């Protein structure tokens, strides 16, 4: 599998490969393991040094019993895994804007957890604006135990797909 980087992005597929985006359409990402380095780097980047994330001794005294990843770190990984997936790559030429995110964190993510992202179309409004559709994608980060650790609804505006599938 080819890997992407800012200097070497993956090539876009031709726009004619757009799948039918009806409610219920879904795809899944590859997996990624959350590391201690991820947590430390995110704390430095964000300035969020909450002891629950960075202090092993303190975290042992909490109901979690260990450090947990920042929710926004896991949300960021969810976003990255989604945009690297082949399902999203087919949509990318049509994506115009992200207009809303509604997010919750039902379970913690621990160091060493591996997450994959399940993406499902939950709502579609054709011709939301002239030539534009609004599509809501539910993205769920699921750990190796099958637990949903992040659930986020991403409302996006896409170029109208009418007649382009």
- 11 belongs to a structural domain: no
Average pLDDT in the 90-95 region?
A: 93
Residue 14 is assigned to a structural domain of this protein: no
Q: Who contacts 100 (Cβ-Cβ below 8 Å, separation ≥6)?
A: 153, 154, 155
Do residues 59 and 51 touch, judged by C-beta distance below 8 A? yes
51-59: average pLDDT: 98
> What does the pLDDT read at residue 10?
57
Q: Which of 137, 152, 62, 42 is nearest to 105 (CA)?
A: 152
pLDDT per position as a tens digit, 124-152 = 998 889 989 999 999 999 999 999 999 99
What residues contact residue 48 under an 8 Å CB cut-off, 6+ apart? Answer: 42, 70, 72
Model confidence at 18, pLDDT cuts 50, 70, 90, reads low
- Phi first, then psi: what are they for 121, rounded to 5°? -75, 120
What region does 163 belong to: left with phi over 0, alpha with psi -120 to 50, or beta?
A: left
- Residue 29 lies in domain: 20-35+68-159
Residue 63 is assigned to a structural domain of this protein: no
CA count, 13 A, side-chain hemisphere, 97: 8
**pLDDT tens-digit profile of 61-76?**
999 999 999 999 999 9
Is 80 a domain residue? Answer: yes
Tell me whether residue 3 is in a domain.
Answer: no
Q: What is the pLDDT of residues 114-130, one digit of tens each?
A: 999 999 999 999 888 99
pLDDT digits (tens, 9 = 90+) for 24-50: 999 999 999 999 999 999 999 999 999
CATH of the domain at 90: 3.10.129.10
Does any domain span residue 79? yes
Structure tokens at 88: 């999203």
């Amino acid at each position: 599998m080819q890997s992407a980087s800012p200097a070497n992005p993956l090539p876009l597929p031709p726009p004619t490969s757009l799948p039918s985006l009806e409610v219920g359409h879904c795809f899944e990402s590859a997996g990624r393991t959350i590391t201690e380095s991820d947590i430390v780097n995110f704390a430095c980047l964000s300035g969020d040094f909450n002891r629950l994330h960075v202090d092993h001794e303190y975290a042992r005294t909490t109901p979690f019993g260990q450090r947990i990843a920042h929710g926004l770190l896991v949300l960021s990984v969810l976003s990255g895994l989604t945009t690297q997936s082949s399902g999203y790559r087919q949509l990318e030429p049509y994506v115009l804007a992200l207009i809303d995110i509604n997010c919750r964190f039902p379970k913690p993510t621990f160091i060493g957890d591996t997450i994959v992202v399940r993406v499902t179309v939950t709502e579609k409004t054709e011709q939301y604006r002239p030539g534009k559709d609004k599509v809501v994608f539910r993205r769920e980060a699921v750990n190796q135990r099958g637990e949903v650790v992040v659930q986020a609804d991403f409302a996006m505006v896409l170029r109208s797909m009418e007649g382009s599938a």
